[in-house]
Amino acid sequence: MIGLILLFGFAVSASLLWLCGVLFYVYAKIGFPNLFALPMTDLTMLSATAFLPVIFLWMAVSLIYNVITLKKQGTTITLLLTQARRSADHAEAMVRTLMETQLQSRSAMVLQNADLFINELNDLLADIVVRFGLIQPAHTELVWQRVGDGNRWAFCKVVLNNAENSPKFQDDLKEQLRRDKILAHAVRTFCYRFEQMFTMLERHDIEHYLTKIFEEGAMGRVYLRFVEACRAVERIESQAAEATYAPDPEPEPVEEEGVPEYEIPRAEDVSSVVAEPPAEEERMPEREVSRDRPSETAAPFGFLRPTR
């Protein structure tokens, strides 16, 4: 700003001094009465000498002024771009912080509701152990009391203890699942709920602490036994279905010794066959094909995976 003031002051002072000098020269050498009596060429040369330097001076001043103004505007635009970039970075950081806060709050809500998932699975396990005959219905209150005292895996321990003490536990479980559809449905529901809970915890548990507890703990081992039994039952049922709906093999032609395979009938035999009235053909009853045939690719329950 000070530079512009000095520049304009210098230009104005130089212009006034130059014009005053030209007027003094005209007054001293030519005289104002004789000024307009000069020829046109001399008058033009005098006007050019008087005004051209002033014009060039102000053109230079205007050029310098434009350069300074453009430089100042460039600096201002650079500052604005820097400020806009900082504002964008700040807004991005705020959005990222907000998203992380929402994710953490959602994860905290899911982890806090883990007790609800455990109670749901314990409820299913209570029905399963009673239906399977591992404990009496009257004894479930004692097991629920142990769960309320802090032993959340009491029903899981019932299943695991029976599995360890009985070498035929897995075979008995498979046979019972084949016979008892209600028990099979409860076991499959337990596996499905466990997979849902495990997938949700794996998505929201950043430290993977609870997922390891459920995967490697008592409930994860019970889940693996149930999954193995359900898959074995599905495999047996699919094999039985394939055997039931398999086509009957066609009988092979038997050739007697001394009798040719193809014999050309005689004319008498043909006439006798034509003369005889055709007997009523006995139609074999068609075997009805059930529409509820299980598909080889579709399974009644698709397990996600037994373990990681």
86 pLDDT more than 50: yes
CA 5/CA 61 separation, integer angstroms? 11
- 81 pLDDT tier (thresholds 50, 70, 90): very high
Full-model pTM: 0.48
Supply angle C-alpha 160, 161, 165, rounded to 5.
120
107 pLDDT more than 70: no
* Cβ-contact 151, 118 below 8 angstroms: no
To 10 degrees, the CA torsion angle through 265, 270, 276, 282? 50
The domain ranges of the chain are: 2-98, 113-243
pLDDT at 42: 79
pLDDT at 77: 92
Please tell me what DSSP assigns to residue 79.
H
pLDDT tens column, 131-164: 888 888 888 888 888 888 888 888 888 888 888 8
- 125-128 contacts, C-beta under 8 A, 24 or more apart: 125/155, 125/156, 125/158, 125/159, 125/190, 125/222, 126/155, 127/186, 128/159, 128/183, 128/186, 128/187, 128/190
Supply angle C-alpha 33, 39, 44, rounded to 5.
95
pLDDT at 111: 62
Question: Who contacts 18 (Cβ-Cβ below 8 Å, separation ≥6)?
Answer: 50, 53, 54
Question: Who contacts 193 (Cβ-Cβ below 8 Å, separation ≥6)?
Answer: 117, 120, 121, 124
22 pLDDT more than 60: yes
Question: Who contacts 106 (Cβ-Cβ below 8 Å, separation ≥6)?
Answer: 204
Lowest mean pLDDT segment, chosen from 35-39, 161-165, 283-287 = 283-287
pLDDT at 94: 87
pLDDT at 250: 58
User: What is the residue-averaged pLDDT of the chain?
Assistant: 75
pLDDT tens column, 211-260: 777 778 888 888 888 988 898 888 888 888 777 765 655 555 555 454 44
- Which percentage of the chain shows pLDDT scores above 70? 74
The mean pLDDT value for 39-57 works out to: 84
CA 147/CA 142 separation, integer angstroms? 9
The mean pLDDT value for 263-277 works out to: 45
Q: In angstroms, what CA-CA distances link 7 with 1, 12, 276?
A: 10, 9, 138
